[in-house]
Each structure stands twice: as structure tokens, then as C-alpha cells.
């Protein structure tokens, strides 16, 4: 059975791939391809955040009673990343590649350290506490992520 | 569970920052010692002033940054929060700095009292930190190779420091111990079991994170740290059992594990998907090649021990390992971590949007500092062969490269403070 951890971690890697596409397009100086790839990445990330905020986190909070704990921090980091997406997309729209690199660097580390906390700490906790409903949650998340 | 509840509490910037800012000063001091002493310092690995310089680098620079970064990293990668991180940082920083100075001075002036005091300061501060980290980590499950690696590395640090303290006290009090074997063992635990395991545990996280490479394959990632520790234990047992053959087998085994790890990392870096070769990537490439070279050297010496009779042999190994490999890995990471933390703390302080990382520390000064580091390394390696001609120059070059690092980090912190003030008055 696919665990919450495996499923969500795979989606993180999928988003990383999309981020890398934007990087590589810029590496070969193709601005419009980079813009398209970044838009794609942003959509996938926003869908991932939405799946967590609307489905996974509420289930975790319901089960553990922890409403102001780790999920709250994850939500705050989502907001920080959302504003970095805006800044990066804006820099690309203006064709300011240097500005994009600066924001992308920040975004990349922000995103990876966030993913690490989820993959190593929060998702294993979800699997542990939500063992009974994990299969159903994964199916639901899968539906939400493919819709996007 | 306890750990999870509070994994949001990133320690204040001041906690890790003090370590990052003072470490380059110790590396500068090491360079200046060499510039002062000149070629004589490189006559043998047992020269007191060389031992002083080596420990300024390994304790004053390396250990300082490793433990400072640990305060930052434990909550993020393991969800393990140190109680009162600022207080821990404050006494640990004081203990390590004092200990490094005392130890260097003890070697330099040949003062037994200073060596004993150094053993006490370093032993107490490291073990107190290990206690605090142990409490934070207790009950944290090893859900990733990084978490397990960190735990094993901390255990290895205890052994490395214990051996170091015993050696310092043995020198100070003339205890009848096999100093040479113990010194090798101490170096093996410090650089291999502690340094190597910590590096691997961190690399699992930062290589994919900074360079967008594929992740490390799961199986070797779980094995590397445990294997290094097991081999270091074997080495220790062989020293106790006075088995020359056992010592060499364990040393060779550790070298092979290290080479395998470095080659794997090089292969992963070859698949990186970043648009540009940034300075962190360059530092890591340099570090990996130096590590492979040094470890091949170590491996060769286990097969042909006569090679190590040349006085320059171990010095060459030390330069490649400490300045070429570990310093390069560390500086490469600092150039990402410091601007990122500055950004994060600005963001959390309400400076929104915070300036991007390259506005806090631009690429050009980092590239210049990287060039200075490469030049210093080349001169140091040259000085092993031509000590009279190159040693002083190499020492100065090392001091300049470390000074450049200090300047770059300080400039980033100043920009951070300027933005912070501006955000407060807004």
C-alpha cells in the first residue's frame, strides 16, 4: 500500500523536476520556455499545498487535536513560498534573469528544507496517526493533485 | 512526539552566526602561524607549531562551524529542539574558542598547563553539548539516513574528543601511552568517523537541495555512516590489541568507504540540474577531488607503509583533507546557509518581501574568495615539496582566503542588519 509519506514525497520530487525544467530552460537562454516551465511548476506546487491544507492537514489536526502545531508552521511556510512564486514569476515576466536567479535560489532552499521537515517528520506522523484512513486519504489526494 | 510539537522553533540567527563569524578568524590565525614559522613548521607532522596550526583549523574553524550548524540543523532535519539554543550557543562558542586558543598556545609554547586546560575546556564544552543534543534527539526515530547519520556522528565526536583529551593530558603529564598510534586513531575518529559521517549525513540533504541532483540511493546512504563507525571501532580494537595488520586493514577500509562516497557524490553532481555552476558547486567539486586524492594516499600507505616514512606524506594528506576537502565543503555550504538564514529571519521579522539571497551576498565576492582559497591550497601543497620557498607565502595566502571569507560573511550580516533596521522603522 502507498503510504502518505511515499505518495506526497513523490509529488515533491515531481515538483522538483518541474523547477529544474525552468532552470535548464534558462541555462540554454530560452526565456519563454522558462516562463512556461515555471508556470507549470507553480501550478503543481499550489495544487500540492491545496491538497495538504484542505485534506491532509485537517485530517491530521482532527485526529491529533494539534491545531497550532506543525501544520500551522507548514501553512506559514506555504504562504512564504507563495509570495516567492509571485516574485519569481514576476522577474521572469520582466525578463530580469538575475533577479529570478536570486529569488529561485531562495525558493529552492526554502522549498527543500520545508519538504524535508514534511518528509522526515510530519508525513511519518500522518502515517502513524492516520493509519486507518491512509488509503482513502491517498486516493483523495491523488484525485486532487491530478485535477490541477 | 515532543520533538514534533515544536519543530517550528528555528533557533535565533545569533545562535549559529557567532560560530560562522569567528571560525574564519581561527583559519586566519593558522595561516599567520605558518607565515611566521616558515618552512621549518613543515619538517614533520609532529612539529609543535604545526600541531598548533592544525588544531586552529580543525577545532577553531571546522568543529566550531560543525557544531554551530548542528544547533541550526537539528530542529530542521530531525525535529530535535535544543532547550534554550541561545544559551547553548553562548557557552559552547566560548568553550570551543577558548579551548582552541589554549590548545594552540599549549603546542606553540610547549606548556603542559595550557594543554591540560585545553583538554578540560574542550572536553567539558563538547560533552555538555553532546548531552544537550542527546536530550533533544532522545525519542526521535531515525526515519531517514540523515537522522541516523547525525546520531552516529555525535557518538563518534565523543570518542574523537575523548582521545584528543587523553593525548593532550598524556603529553602534558608524560603518561606512558603509545602516542603515535593514539594520535593516528584520534585523527581517524575526528576526520573519518565524526567528520566523514557528519559530512555524509549532511550531503544526503544539501547536495540534492543546493544542486538539484537526484537523491542518494537509499541503501548506501544507510550503510555509509555505520560502516565508517564500525571500521573506526575495529581500528581502535586493533590499537588495543597491538595488531599492526588490523590497524592497516581498518584504515584501508575507511579510505575505501570514503572514496566510494566521494565518487558517488561526484556522479550525482554530474547529474545536477541547476542553470549555473555556482560557487558552492565549485567548492564541493574541489573538496571531492581532494578527498579522493587524500584517501587514495591513505589507502596506498596501508599497502606500502614505507611511503609514510617521507615526512611530507602525512602533511600532504592533512592539507588535502583539511584545507582541500573539509574547508571547501564547509565554505561551500556557508555561502548558501548564511544568506538563506538572513533571508528567513528578515522574512520572519516582517521585512516582506525580504531581499533575495543574491542581494544579501552577491556571487562576485564569493567567486573571488574561492579563487583565493584555490591559490592558498596550491601554495600549501607546493610548500610541502618546497618548504623554504613557499611556506610563508602559503601561510599568508591561507590567511587572505580566510580573511576574504570573514569579510564576505560579515558584509552579508551587515546588509541583513540594515534591512532589519529599515523594516523596524517602517
Residue A31 to residue B171: CA distance in whole angstroms: 64
Between B8 and B93, whose confidence is greater?
A: B93
Task: Report yes or no: A119 at the B interface, CB cutoff 8 Å.
Answer: yes
**Mean pLDDT of successive 10-residue segments in chain A (148 residues)?**
91 94 92 96 96 95 87 92 96 94 93 89 91 90 83
Q: Quick one: pLDDT at residue B7?
A: 46
Q: Quick one: pLDDT at residue B4?
A: 41
Q: Quick one: pLDDT at residue B79?
A: 81
Q: Quick one: pLDDT at residue B94?
A: 98
Residue-range domain boundaries for chain A = 4-147
Q: Is-contact B198 B137, C-beta < 8 A?
A: no
Residue B87 to residue B69: CA distance in whole angstroms: 15
Q: Quick one: pLDDT at residue B9?
A: 63
Residues with Cβ within 8 Å of residue B88, at least 6 apart in sequence: B15, B71, B82, B129, B132
In DSSP notation, B167-231 reads HHHHHHHT----HHHHHHHHHIIIIIIIIIHHHHHHHHHHHHHHH-PPPPPHHHHHHHHHHHHHH
Residues listed for chain B: 426
Residue B3: pLDDT band (50, 70, 90) is very low
For chain B positions 302-341, those within 8 Å of chain A (CB to CB) are 336, 340
Q: Quick one: pLDDT at residue B83?
A: 87
What is the pLDDT of chain B when averaged over all its residues?
95
Q: Quick one: pLDDT at residue B8?
A: 53
Tell me: the pLDDT tens digits for B362-379?
999 999 999 999 999 999
Q: Quick one: pLDDT at residue A116?
A: 85
Provide, as residue numbers in chain B, all residues whose Cβ is less than 8 Å from the Cβ of A79: none
Q: How distant is the Cα of B337 from the closest Cα of chain A, in angstroms?
A: 9
| Backbone conformation region of residue A66, classed left if phi is above 0, alpha if psi is from -120 to 50, else beta | beta
Residue B186: pLDDT band (50, 70, 90) is very high
Q: What is the largest CA-CA distance in chain B?
A: 69
Q: Quick one: pLDDT at residue A106?
A: 94
Question: E strands along A16-127, which residues?
Answer: none
Helix axis angle for B218-240 and B145-173, nearest 10°, is: 20
For the residues B341-345, what does the mean pLDDT come to? 93
Which among A98, A112, A125 has CB closest to B209?
A112
Tell me: the pLDDT tens digits for B29-74?
999 999 999 999 999 999 999 999 999 999 999 999 999 999 999 9
CATH 1.20.1250.20 holds for B2-425:
no
| Backbone conformation region of residue A56, classed left if phi is above 0, alpha if psi is from -120 to 50, else beta | alpha
Task: Report yes or no: B344 at the A interface, CB cutoff 8 Å.
Answer: yes
Q: Do B8 and A26 touch (CB under 8 A)?
A: no
Cell output for B361? 551576498
Is the peptide bond between B147 and the residue preceding it cis, with omega within 30 degrees of 0? no
| B10 has pLDDT over 80 | no
Q: How many CB pairs under 8 A join A and B?
A: 90
Closest-CA residue of chain A to B361: A102
Closest-CA residue of chain A to B347: A80
For domain A4-147, the CATH architecture is Up-down Bundle (1.20)
* 3-state percent helix, strand, coil for chain A, nearest multiple of 5: 90, 0, 10
Provide, as residue numbers in chain A, all residues whose Cβ is less than 8 Å from the Cβ of B358: 98, 101-102, 105
For the residues B266-278, what does the mean pLDDT come to? 92
Which among A27, A103, A117 has CB closest to B7?
A117
Tell me: the pLDDT tens digits for B159-173?
999 999 999 999 999
Q: CA-CA distances (angstroms) from residue B326 to B61, B194, B209, B329, B374?
A: 10, 12, 19, 5, 13
Q: Quick one: pLDDT at residue A148?
A: 61
Q: How distant is the Cα of B146 from the closest Cα of chain A, in angstroms?
A: 9
Provide, as residue numbers in chain B, all residues whose Cβ is less than 8 Å from the Cβ of A20: 212, 273-274
Q: Quick one: pLDDT at residue B78?
A: 85
Closest-CA residue of chain A to B212: A20
Provide, as residue numbers in chain A, all residues whose Cβ is less than 8 Å from the Cβ of B79: 117, 120-121
Q: CA-CA distances (angstroms) from residue B352 to A49, A78, A82, B214, B246?
A: 21, 15, 12, 32, 59
Alpha helices in A4-30 (DSSP H): 4-27
Amino acid at each position: 500500500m502507498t503510504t502518505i509519506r511515499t505518495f506526497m514525497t513523490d509529488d515533491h520530487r515531481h515538483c522538483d523536476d518541474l523547477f529544474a525544467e525552468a532552470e535548464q530552460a534558462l541555462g540554454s537562454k530560452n526565456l519563454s520556455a522558462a516562463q512556461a516551465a515555471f508556470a507549470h511548476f507553480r501550478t503543481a506546487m499550489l495544487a500540492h499545498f491545496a491538497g495538504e491544507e484542505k485534506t491532509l492537514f485537517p485530517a491530521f489536526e482532527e485526529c491529533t487535536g494539534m491545531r497550532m502545531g506543525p501544520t500551522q508552521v507548514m501553512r506559514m511556510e506555504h504562504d512564504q513560498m507563495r509570495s516567492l512564486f509571485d516574485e519569481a514569476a514576476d522577474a521572469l515576466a520582466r525578463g530580469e534573469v538575475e533577479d529570478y536567479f536570486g529569488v529561485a535560489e531562495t525558493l529552492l532552499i526554502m522549498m527543500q528544507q520545508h519538504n524535508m521537515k514534511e518528509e522526515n517528520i510530519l508525513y511519518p506522523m500522518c502515517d502513524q496517526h492516520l493509519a486507518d484512513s491512509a488509503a482513502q486519504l491517498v486516493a483523495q489526494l491523488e484525485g486532487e493533485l491530478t485535477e490541477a | 512526539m515532543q520533538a514534533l510539537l515544536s519543530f517550528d522553533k528555528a533557533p535565533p540567527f545569533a545562535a549559529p552566526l557567532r560560530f560562522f563569524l569567528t571560525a574564519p578568524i581561527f583559519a586566519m590565525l593558522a595561516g599567520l602561524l605558518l607565515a611566521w614559522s616558515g618552512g621549518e613548521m613543515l619538517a614533520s607532522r609532529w612539529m609543535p607549531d604545526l600541531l598548533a596550526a592544525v588544531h586552529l583549523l580543525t577545532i577553531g574553524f571546522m568543529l566550531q562551524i560543525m557544531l554551530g550548524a548542528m544547533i541550526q540543523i537539528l530542529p530542521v532535519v530531525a525535529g530535535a529542539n535544543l532547550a534554550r539554543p541561545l544559551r547553548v550557543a553562548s557557552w559552547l562558542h566560548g568553550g570551543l574558542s577558548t579551548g582552541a586558543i589554549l590548545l594552540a598556545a599549549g603546542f606553540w609554547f610547549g606548556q603542559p598547563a595550557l594543554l591540560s586546560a585545553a583538554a578540560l575546556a574542550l572536553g567539558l564544552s563538547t560533552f555538555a553539548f553532546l548531552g544537550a543534543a542527546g536530550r533533544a534527539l532522545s525519542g526521535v526515530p531515525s526515519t531517514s539516513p540523515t537522522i541516523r547519520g547525525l546520531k552516529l556522528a555525535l557518538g563518534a565526536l565523543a570518542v574523537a574528543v575523548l582521545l584528543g583529551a587523553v593525548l593532550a593530558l598524556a603529553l602534558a603529564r608524560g603518561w606512558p601511552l603509545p602516542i603515535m598510534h593514539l594520535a593516528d586513531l584520534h585523527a581517524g575518529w575526528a576526520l573519518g568517523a565524526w567528520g566523514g559521517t557528519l559530512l555524509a549525513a549532511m550531503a544526503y540533504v544539501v547536495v540534492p537541495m543546493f544542486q538539484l541532483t537526484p537523491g542518494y540511493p537509499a541503501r548506501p546512504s544507510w550503510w555509509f555512516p555505520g560502516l565508517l563507525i564500525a571500521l573506526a571501532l575495529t581500528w581502535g580494537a586493533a590499537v588495543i590489541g597491538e595488531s599492526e595488520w588490523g590497524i592497516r586493514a581498518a584504515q584501508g577500509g575507511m579510505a575505501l568507504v570514503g572514496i566510494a562516497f566521494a565518487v558517488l557524490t561526484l556522479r550525482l553532481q554530474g547529474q545536477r540540474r541547476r542553470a549555473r555552476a555556482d560557487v558552492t558547486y565549485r567548492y564541493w567539486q574541489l573538496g571531492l577531488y581532494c578527498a579522493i586524492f587524500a584517501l587514495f594516499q591513505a589507502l596506498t600507505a596501508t599497502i606500502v607503509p614505507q611511503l609514510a616514512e617521507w615526512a611530507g606524506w602525512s602533511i600532504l594528506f592533512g592539507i588535502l583533507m583539511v584545507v582541500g576537502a573539509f574547508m571547501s565543503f564547509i565554505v561551500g555550504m556557508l555561502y548558501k546557509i548564511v544568506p538563506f538564514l538572513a533571508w528567513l529571519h528578515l522574512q520572519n521579522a516582517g521585512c516582506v518581501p525580504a531581499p533575495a539571497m543574491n542581494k544579501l551576498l552577491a556571487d562576485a565576492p564569493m567567486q573571488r574568495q574561492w579563487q583565493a582559497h584555490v591559490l592558498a591550497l596550491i601554495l600549501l601543497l607546493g610548500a610541502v615539496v618546497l618548504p623554504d620557498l613557499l611556506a610563508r607565502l602559503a601561510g599568508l595566502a591561507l590567511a587572505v582566503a580566510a580573511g576574504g571569507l570573514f569579510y564576505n560573511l560579515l558584509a552579508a550580516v551587515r546588509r541583513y542588519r540594515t534591512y532589519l533596521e529599515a523594516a523596524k522603522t517602517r
